[in-house]
A and B are shown apart, each in its own frame.
Chain A
Amino acid sequence: MADKLRAQQHLEALQARYIGIGSADTTRHEWVNNIQRDSLSSYIGHPPLLQYMSIGLGQSREKTRVQMLERMIQPAGPPPKQQD
């Protein structure tokens, strides 16, 4: 029992520390949001990728960067309505 409790506490500690560590209660929307935010921040963080997209969109890198960051706010739309 103590082991289980410790494992539980450990998991909670990790969840608090790292974003995106799921649990049995993670919803589809949360998961998709996470993936999308990870991807968007990866596009911003890899300079060649950001440049690639900027050239495609025909705009400056700064503008693309800001657009990606803005998309990170709600990448997969509003959360679904809670059903009781």
Chain B
Amino acid sequence: MTSFSSLSLYSLTIKPPSATQDAISGDFIGNGKQQILTVNGSRLAILEVARRQKGFQELYSQDVFGIVRRIAKFRLAGGTKDLIVISTDSGRLVTYEYLPDEQQFKTVHFETFGKSGVRRVVPGEYLAVDPKGRAIMVASTEKNKLVYILTRSGQTDIAISSPLEAHKPHTLMFCLIGLDVGYDNPMFAALELDYSSAETDATGEAVNDLHKELVYYELDLGLNHIVRKWSEPVDRTAHTLFRVPGGPNAPSGVLVCGEDNITYRRIFNNKSQVHRLAIPRREAATEDPNRKRIIVTGTLYTLKGGDFFYLLQTEDGDVFKLTVAAPGSSVEKIMIKYFDTIPLATSICILRAGFVFAACESGDRTLYELESLGDETDDPIFESSQFPVDPLTPYDPPFFRPRPLSNLTPVESMPSLNPIMDMVVANPTLEDAPQVYTVNGSGSRSTFRTTRNALEVLDLIESPLPQNASHVWTTKLTAEDETDTLIVLCLHSRTLVLKIGDEVEEASNTGFMLETNTLGVQQFGHDCVIQIHPRGIRHIQSISFPDESQPAAVHVEVTDWEPPAHRTIVACATNNRQVAIALSSGQILYFECDNDGSLAMAEEEIAVEVTVNCLAIPEVPEGSVRAFFMAVGCSDHTVRIYNLSPDMDGNILRSISVQGLSAQPSDLTINTMSDKSPRGYSQYLHIGLHSGVYIRSVLEEMTGEIGDTRRRYLGPGAISFAPVNAAGEPAVLAMGSRPWLAYTHPRTSVLQLTPINYTPFKSAWNFEGAQFKGIICVNGNELRIFTFEALQDNTTFESIPLKYTPRKLVNFHDLGTFYVIESDNNTMGADLRKSIMELNKAQENGVDDAGDTKTNGDMSNNHSEEDVLSPADFGYPRKQGWWASCIQVVDPVSEHAVVDTIELTENRTAVSVALVYFDAGDDKMPYLAVGTATELQYSPLRCSQASIMLYKISPSGKKLEFLHETEMSDIPMALLSFKGKLVVGSGTDLSLYDRGTRALLRKALTSNCVTTRIMGLKTQGSRIIVSDQSQSVTYVVHKEQVYPNRLIPFVDDTVPRHTTCIEMLDYETTVGGDKFGNIWIVRCPPKVSEASDESPDGLNLLQEKGYLGGAPKRLDLAAHFFVNDIPVSIQRTVLLSGGEMVIFWAGLQGTLGAMIPFRSRRQHKMFQQLELQLRNDDKPLSGRDHLAYRGYYTPVKSVIDGDLVERFLVLSRDKRESIVGQLTGNWTSEAVDEAIWNMRGLYAF
């Protein structure tokens, strides 16, 4: 007998991380253009930037299932494209070639060099490549360095040598680059620090005498040997290097950057050849003139003629252009000039096409266009001759004034959730599916974002109609037309025909019957148009507009076909050569196009006993005279398929197959959509039901069989369809309670169903005009045309700017308002900023009175400019040890803005927040409790004063009114509304407070409830789950029948987990995330859980002895999974309308993920086997063992990695079949596809 764990989850990434570790530009396709390679979390992506499409396009991305640390590119002489090398935690050096045709990364080299994991002495932290692509160096933070030599063997292959070692013990490395030495022996430069002398020095003086050294390693290609060729001491604060171009006419060497320090050093330098620059500082009233900056990132750009410059960014975000004056390849001086200010970036890439890509540390990644190279602006230029070589000798610091962008223009930004600080899934807007509310970003670039699962559309035209319309069609006039000419609208018992031209106006004399409802319009045969209405079919021949600009049409002949007496047409289906109509009597009549374009009725007809709801005929396949099948939706919950082309006996309209449904069909359509079949496309039957369910099945083109079915509930209301073109691909619009698009995902080629971010509409049709293509739709008396730009991203964002780094978010669901606490460390608070500005102004005015007026004018002008500089672009002035903090009220529902801001003054910072419903008092409104700390400092954590501030919320929820402040003994990091009172976790103490008129009143206290520090609280019933900073969770029970109330911890965990967020799944079970990127579920044993609630006074719990210094009992681990991102918020929620509960989490780096519980044992078994197969047959690209990666700290338990399973969808057919062949339980490739699709489609998006 096999035993199963009681819980199993399927982990899916809904939104991959958007924090960029590194970005480089290069030609990875080999088409002579530049792309950008970025790495976000464990995902490698190639982005293309083109002027034509104005922005980014992601060409390819893939999860490598490893912690990626650095990326680099190399190209051997004679190569046509750049190859990629990455360093990960796999202990292997892996290089790839991107194959654009196959759309995949091909592994070129796969060299194991050390243990896996991110370790101190396993190389991987630093990665450098010789600019000529001849060698790669990988290094660890301490001691180890390995060099691989790359050589060309044969025409195409690149051979890699075994590694050469250049270890040096007791040496820390700060930076490593490959030097440009032309075709001399490859050379690497490293910033190293040898701490061995301080290791044994008990006096502690040697540590002050340590030198940082710039070390050159030369790879002797002849001897196959690496030597430490030269070293020289550099500035102690140096931390990063940039290479200076070498070769015949270039100086070669390095730029060494440190604090307030940029130094040029020649290779094998002697003292006289050092050129040093100080980093210019901002000049402003609120800036500290003595604060020194460092360079955080930068890039070298070489111009065509061999000239080069650097863009270097400081920690404020100011970008400087650094140029080197090197006549005759020896450097005379280096110059620095302010360029522009852009958000703080991790990498800056300059593209030859004139774009600058900034992978920002926080917020959206932005693309700028390079307007000029900064030569025209009149910012001061500083030269190295102004500054002494030794940074310790005194000098005049350089200053500049920041100004708005002048050399760069932002072109486009790529929405990034990174970093997510907190998240809530809620539905205050009362849509059918909940929205994801996150607070993102850091510093002045913080935002409040609403994320929805919806497709973004581009609104093109919006125009009113004279009357409400129920249906819309567009039609061409002849089969050869490329664009549509007529728009036909079905108004209430009237039909309106519009002509599309320069203007849209009503067409006259088109031959259409206008005093009736229209059921269908079709361009028929060569040059006819048919209109189907309840009382017959009107066949109009050769409509044309003699004068293009006039709405008057002429037509040749109008023929009417009328149904038998007392019957009306209830449904119709048409294509260019076939018409089928269903009569109210249940008959279905079938017509084909005659030679002269007229309607020829077939002798056969179908009689069904029930009402026909809908009909569908596909378009005529290319090369055929008719479509082969017709689908009929009947009121007896079936869809029947009939043949339209004669079968072997020459009969048509024979029943081929029947599909039973769960409800009455409301609409049908058949189209051809691209998919993963060998041909690349298949014919699909789309069925909409009155119950709101959408069904898509493959309709076999030859046999008419129905198979490979996908079902999904789209919301209440009957569904109708419109086959359309979305972003160049055939798709189907499904209109129910809101419009959805069913399309093929451009990359994975699987069916995607996504709601459209647009007003609901009842009828739509494809629209192909001369100027644009799109979709025309009617909603009431409005006619709209919109189009889809891209189908890659199935989420839309709305963002509201916030003031400082958001820390926590609470949601007042009843009123749809959110309360955010924000704080920025080492930043001047608003009060301090204001007082400094006022002081400054006063001083200036003083000068005003004395000095002459002309200069004064200039001065005040400058300062008013300063006020204009928005903190969103330039950040806030910094001040060591100070906090800027505020509470903001955000209304994302009606006002889409921040509605109230309360700045905290006197170096106070908000650390926790909760909405609290107090029993005391009779008002129904909750209060906002905010935990604050004054003069907060980290490591060790301390503050001068801690308190809880209580705010009254106005009836609209949009204003806060300060009530009172209660001093606390320790920082209250966690607050929770509990049984009409407030539970506070301050330090290690858990206490219960009630509201008094002047302060909070303590009702219960358990000191030393946890070991380190209470960071979070959750509750159900009388139970409180307390999460500790480093010691996992403790369950506490509240006993209210004794006085004073008791809070008794009764069970805790065995493993130290640095908990960041928790959520209760049920009364016994808690899911949480930790700082190292794990998600885990712990469960209280049932007996312990029962015992905790047994006695009313908890005496049995108090009498139990603690076990090993903790609570008396221990929790069981139910699941564990490594996600490579720090979960900051976890919630048990529904994501879709009619969906099931999932565990939804948000990660710091911008990941949104879901953990979906398995419901069927059979499926779980299949997924388990599939995961196992994929681990072996589709090994992670990084060379990391997948099982080891997901069990990075603790072995993975009861979780199946959906991201790996979804790789199955993009594998080749052969590989898929071979994997499926090894699964037990009669699975077919299609059934596995469907199971994978259902896991995402029915629970998440």
Contacts and interface: CB of A to CB of B under 8 A. Distances in A.
Contacts of A54: 361
B120 A37 contact: yes
Contacts of B297: 62
Given A18-B121, A69-B141, A62 B315 contact: yes
Interface in B1095-1149: 1124-1126, 1147-1149
Interface string B65-101: 0010100000000000000000001000000000000
A48 B141 contact: no
Contacts of B827: 58
Contact of B200 (A65, A77, A79): A79
A20 to B, nearest CB: 8
Given A47-B69, A51-B19, A38 B120 contact: yes
B361 A78 contact: no
B826 interface: yes
B1148 A48 contact: yes
A80 B443 contact: no
B1076 A46 contact: yes
A41 B202 contact: no
A13 interface: no
Interface stretch (B4-12, B203-211, B719-727, B961-969): B203-211
Interface in A53-82: 54-63, 65-66, 69, 72-74, 77-82
Contact of B1126 (A18, A52, A58): A52
Interface string B819-853: 00000111100000000000000000000000000
A58 B294 contact: no
Contacts of A19: 120-121, 142-143, 169
A42 interface: yes
B547 interface: no
What are the 3 A-B residue pairs with the smallest beta carbon separation, nearest first?
A58-B825, A78-B204, A45-B118
Contact of A74 (B143, B198, B344): B198
A44 B173 CA distance: 12
Contacts of B21: 47
Interface in B186-229: 193, 195, 198-204, 207, 210
Interface in B1064-1096: 1075-1077
B442 interface: yes
Interface residues of A, number: 37
Nearest to B114: A18
Contact of B239 (A46, A57, A66): A66
B172 interface: yes
Given A47-B21, A62-B240, A79-B201, 15 more contacts: A19-B143, A45-B89, A46-B1076, A48-B1077, A49-B1126, A51-B19, A51-B1148, A51-B1149, A52-B1075, A52-B1126, A52-B1148, A60-B294, A65-B239, A72-B172, A82-B202
B901 interface: no
Given A48-B1126, A79-B200, A79-B201, A74 B207 contact: yes
Given A45-B125, A62-B294, A72 B142 contact: yes
A63 B141 contact: no
A46 B207 contact: no
B132 to A, nearest CB: 28
A44 B125 contact: yes
B690 interface: no
Residue among B121, B203, B207, B1124 with the highest chain A CB neighbour number at 10 A: B121
Given A51-B1148, A57-B826, A73 B69 contact: no
Nearest to A45: B118
* Interface SS of A by simple majority: helix
Nearest to B121: A19
A44 B346 CA distance: 14
B740 interface: no
Contact of A59 (B172, B199, B315, B1125): B315
Interface residues of B, number: 59
Nearest to A30: B199
B938 interface: yes
Contacts of A49: 1075-1076, 1126
A44 B825 contact: no
Contact of B210 (A41, A57, A63, A73): A73
A47 B143 CA distance: 21
A19 B144 CA distance: 10
Contacts, number: 134
Nearest to A58: B825
A38 B1147 CA distance: 25
Interface in B102-156: 118-121, 124-125, 140-143
Nearest to A48: B1126
B943 interface: no
Interface in A15-46: 18-20, 37-38, 41-42, 44-46
Given A45-B69, A62-B297, A69 B19 contact: no
Nearest to B207: A74
A78 B193 CA distance: 17
B1027 interface: no
Contacts of B362: 55
Nearest to A46: B118
A84 B602 CA distance: 113
Nearest to B826: A58
A73 B173 CA distance: 11
A38 to B, nearest CB: 5
B805 interface: yes
Given A41-B125, A58-B824, A63 B19 contact: no
B172 A73 contact: yes
Nearest to A39: B120
B875 to A, nearest CB: 10
A57 B67 CA distance: 23
A67 B1147 CA distance: 25
A32 B68 CA distance: 28
12 contacts: A45-B118, A45-B141, A46-B67, A47-B19, A47-B67, A48-B19, A58-B805, A61-B346, A62-B239, A63-B296, A78-B204, A79-B200
B174 interface: yes
Contacts of B207: 73-74, 78
Contacts of A44: 125, 141
A78 B1076 CA distance: 30
A79 B41 CA distance: 39
Contacts of A73: 172, 193, 195, 198, 207, 210
B824 A81 contact: no
B419 interface: yes
B419 A55 contact: yes
Contacts of A51: 19, 361, 419, 1148-1149
A61 B361 contact: yes
B202 A55 contact: no
